[in-house]
């Protein structure tokens, strides 16, 4: 069991070291890859998807930002698979071509269902209840995201 995640050993260490994998792009500094989760979803790799999701949570990225990133990727793949052009989507060459390659790992119906589920869990997390019942919606959204990612 310990060998299962051997390739990911040490990635959940919250300390940032000087020689660590810090990404810098256009003045922004990341100690994680902000697109790794989207890539893992495109690959349809459950293990990698879950690990990248955990890395984002440990880096302090909020559930709403994560779900928006996931929805964007799934939306782009869904539109590409049904034949929407790059110009209509408003994407540049690299994201379009990457999503087009990733869409080959999915069936059209799977993508549509996955997209629908993402939209539903996002809106349910933002619902207010008329009787004043309060719940911790952020925790609920995090759990729902994790469940849906593990169902890929």
| Contact partners, residue 59, CB within 8 Å, separation at least 6 | 30, 31, 32
Query: CATH fold of 35-150, please?
Result: Zinc Finger, Delta Prime; domain 3 (1.20.272)
Instruction: List the one residue out of 89, 53, 52, 97 whose CA is nearest residue 72.
Output: 89
Task: Give me the tens of pLDDT residue by residue for the chain, a chain 152 residues long.
Answer: 456 556 666 665 555 444 445 555 555 555 678 899 999 999 999 999 999 999 999 999 999 999 999 999 999 999 999 999 999 999 999 999 999 999 999 999 999 999 999 999 988 887 766 666 645 566 788 999 999 999 99
pTM exceeds 0.85: no
N-term to C-term CA, the chain: 22
């Amino acid at each position: 069991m310990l060998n299962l995640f051997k390739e990911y050993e040490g990635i959940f260490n919250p300390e940032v070291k000087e020689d660590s994998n810090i990404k810098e792009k256009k003045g922004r500094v990341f100690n994680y890859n902000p697109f790794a989760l989207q890539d893992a979803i495109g690959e349809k790799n459950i293990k990698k998807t879950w690990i990248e999701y955990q890395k984002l949570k440990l880096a302090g990225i909020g559930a709403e930002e994560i779900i928006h990133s996931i929805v964007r990727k799934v939306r782009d793949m869904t539109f590409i698979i049904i034949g929407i052009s790059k110009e209509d989507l408003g994407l540049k060459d690299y994201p379009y071509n990457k999503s087009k390659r990733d869409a080959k790992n999915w069936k059209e119906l799977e993508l549509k269902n996955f997209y629908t589920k993402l939209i539903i869990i996002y809106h349910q997390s933002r619902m207010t209840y008329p009787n004043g019942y309060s719940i911790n919606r952020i925790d609920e959204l995090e759990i729902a995201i994790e469940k849906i990612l593990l169902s890929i």
